[in-house]
Structure 1
Amino acid sequence: MRHRRNRRGRRGRSPGRRRWRPRHWRPGASCRAAWRAAKALGYRRLITYTQDGESGASLRGAGWHVIASRPPRAGWHTPSRPRAGHGNDHVPRLLWEAL
């Protein structure tokens, strides 16, 4: 009988198995850790943005709240600072705050 580990599927994973995650992994853990670190440094507010179409589930799970909706930017290019677009221009955003 062949061992299951020898029957590799795509990307070297065994068929039917989930991707390995550390035992202590929880959704939103890195968001919570970022807020704890910022508070320890004396910050009173921590914000981040998500693009329209992203769920923000990990932020919501870590206790963050949407505080504003931002309109799409025309881009970062200005005559005094020429910039190339990276595909994230003209996308509405949500502003999140850690509580």
Structure 2
Amino acid sequence: MLVSRAEYLQSNCQSIRQLDIYIKHNPDLEKLFINDKALVSKNIHTDKISVPFANLYQAINLKTIISVPTSYNSEVNGVISVHQYDDFPTWTNDEIEFL
């Protein structure tokens, strides 16, 4: 299970910190941890990447998301995610690499 350690929100965004997010049986998170590469959903309503969380994402009005694994000594130990709630931006390679 992923445990949220920190969260920064704008005032009009809903927190997801209290949610239990399980890795097992979640193909997106399993892929994120196995491949050790960013997962990008440009539109959570249409991308297959967001299917396991589709209801949650719609409930909090999420539009797009980038998730990148963090690691130490080549072992994945967490995830950093950037959520966009008010627009469908086109994430650039530089933005994805920055994370």
By relative contact order (CA 8 Å, sep 6+), the higher-ranking structure is 1
Q: TM-score, normalising length from structure 1?
A: 0.25
Counting helix residues as a fraction of each chain, which structure ranks higher? 2
Counting strand residues as a fraction of each chain, which structure ranks higher? 2
Q: TM-score, normalising length from structure 2?
A: 0.25
Name which one, 1 or 2, has greater alpha-carbon Rg. Answer: 1
